């Protein structure tokens, strides 16, 4: 048995190895990038120092001096000194480390190997690979170095000593080889080495363009009912999307979930079928269960409401033949779905009964007047 300490040590070492491999892979990709910039800046340096310090005359002396300068150490130093930005550590480090290689190339190799990038970065210090290849041994990317990923994706580590050579497919494509189409896209052209998946413009736009002119190139999406397709309409689906089902002729049609399963929604909701889906909507508050929106789609009316010619309406409890507020000096007040009993005017509730509100004494004059007012009403 391993002790806890041994296990911990093992775990940490593994984590360290994984982490360092990960940073090493990134380092490999970035060194190639640095090297590429150095090679680019070397070319720029060559341009910049062309005919430097010479007036462009054609004297024999100038001709001779120029051809000497072209391959001189002075020119090389001039170029090397301006290769890197002073702030770029990686660049300066790489140039210093390989200064002798630049000299070798400058004096002995440049005629036979004019491409500094290939000679230096790929073949000599081996931080890059040629295009279409990747990794320590510059192996071919998935689907080959000629057209990595069949032209429909990017090969991981392409042109560097890092990466795994697998494909990161462009939008619309999928699969190890980027030959398959993403859902909603279809293969317009396809063979073993070539695939064109189309989809960008909506069906309506595509149809519109098609009517205008057959020569206008356009791309189209599958019909909304298709998961995958071979053409434009719901008859061209290979597979239907969820919420759509194939009929006998293979056409994808909307499935009415509400009819198929009446228990999809809660009791106080109704089911609304939509293209490819459904939703549950709340019943009208006058309903107790319903088949649709509004008080005329109730299965039965909520308590306090009654069915009046197919629509649920409020019951006026106060106008029923049997009085509902029966205590003395009580009045009935109807409201939505119910009623309340209140004390009549000039009465107030006291310990459950309606008692007369005592008249204030200083208002004797008004008390005399009030019975007359009453008679007018
Ligand atoms: C290459 O040269 C340009 C301009 O001289 C400079 O801005 C750039 O940083 C150089 N590249 C590197 C890696 O230093
Ligand atoms: C596959 O299709 C492409 C484009 O149409 C064509 O250039 C290529 O020759 C075809 N390859 C094969 C093996 O048929």
> Hey, is 370 helix, strand or coil?
helix
Q: How far is CA 158 from CA 58, 136, 168, in A?
A: 47, 12, 11
- Picking from 255, 271, 305, the residue at the C-terminal end of a domain is 255
- Give the residue numbers spanning the domain of 349: 321-360
Ligand lying closest to the C-alpha of residue 48 = 1
The answer to whether residues 37 and 104 belong to one domain is yes
Does residue 94 sit within a domain?
Answer: yes
Does residue 175 sit within a domain?
Answer: no
- Ligand 2 atom nearest the C-alpha of 189 is 5
Question: Could you give phi then psi for residue 128, rounded to 5 degrees?
Answer: -125, 165
Q: Record the pTM.
A: 0.54
The answer to whether residues 210 and 224 belong to one domain is yes
> Hey, is 40 helix, strand or coil?
helix
- Ligand 1 atom nearest the C-alpha of 91 is 13
Q: Cβ(337)–Cβ(302) under 8 Å?
A: yes
Q: pLDDT per residue over 311-357, tens digit each?
A: 999 998 888 888 888 888 888 888 888 888 888 888 888 888 888 88
Q: How far is the CA of 43 from the centre of ligand 1 (A)?
A: 12
Q: How far is the CA of 187 from the centre of ligand 2 (A)?
A: 14
Q: How many CB atoms lie within 10 A of CB 241?
A: 19
Q: How far is the CA of 50 from the centre of ligand 1 (A)?
A: 19
CA dist 336 and 364 (Å) reads 41
- Picking from 61, 96, 128, the residue at the C-terminal end of a domain is 128
C-alpha angle with apex 34: 33 to 40, nearest 5 degrees? 90
Q: pLDDT per residue over 51-81, tens digit each?
A: 665 555 566 777 777 778 888 999 999 999 9
The answer to whether residues 269 and 334 belong to one domain is no
The answer to whether residues 220 and 264 belong to one domain is no
Count structural domains, the chain.
4
- Picking from 203, 235, 255, the residue at the C-terminal end of a domain is 255
| Two tokens, residue 295 | 């008080």
């Amino acid at each position: 048995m391993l002790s806890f300490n041994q296990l911990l040590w093992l775990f940490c070492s593994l984590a360290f190895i994984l982490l360092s491999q990960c940073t090493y892979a990134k380092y490999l990709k970035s060194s190639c990038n640095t090297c590429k910039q150095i090679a680019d800046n070397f070319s720029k340096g060559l341009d910049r120092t062309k005919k430097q310090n010479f007036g462009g005359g054609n004297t024999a002396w100038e001709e001779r001096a120029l051809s000497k300068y072209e391959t001189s150490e002075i020119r090389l130093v001039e170029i090397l000194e301006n290769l890197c930005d002073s702030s770029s550590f990686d660049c300066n480090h790489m140039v210093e480390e390989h200064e002798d290689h630049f000299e070798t190339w400058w004096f002995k190799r440049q005629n036979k190997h004019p491409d500094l990038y290939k000679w230096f970065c790929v073949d000599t210090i081996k931080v890059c690979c040629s295009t279409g290849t990747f990794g320590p041994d510059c192996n071919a990317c998935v689907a080959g170095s000629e057209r990595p990923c069949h032209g429909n994706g990017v090969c991981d580590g392409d042109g560097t000593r890092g990466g795994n050579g697998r494909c990161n497919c462009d939008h619309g494509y999928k699969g190890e080889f980027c030959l398959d189409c993403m859902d909603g896209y279809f293969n317009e052209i396809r063979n073993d080495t070539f695939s064109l998946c189309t989809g960008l413009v909506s069906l309506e736009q595509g149809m519109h363009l098609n009517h205008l002119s057959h020569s206008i190139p356009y791309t189209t999406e599958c019909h909304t009912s298709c998961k995958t397709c071979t053409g434009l309409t719901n008859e061209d689906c290979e597979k239907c999307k969820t919420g759509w089902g194939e009929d006998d002729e293979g056409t994808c049609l909307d499935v009415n979930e509400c009819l198929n399963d009446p228990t999809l929604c809660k009791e106080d909701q109704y089911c609304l079928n939509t293209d490819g889906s459904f939703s549950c909507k709340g019943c009208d508050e006058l309903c107790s269960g319903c088949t649709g929106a509004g008080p005329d789609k109730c299965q039965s009316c909520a308590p306090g409401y009654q069915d009046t010619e197919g629509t649920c309406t409020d019951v006026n409890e106060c106008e029923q033949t049997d009085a509902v507020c029966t205590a003395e000096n009580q009045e009935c007040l109807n409201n939505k779905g119910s009623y309340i009993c209140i004390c009549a005017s000039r009465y107030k509730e006291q310990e459950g009964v309606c008692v007369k509100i005592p008249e204030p004494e200083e208002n004797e004059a008004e008390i005399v007047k009030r019975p007359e007012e009453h008679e007018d009403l």
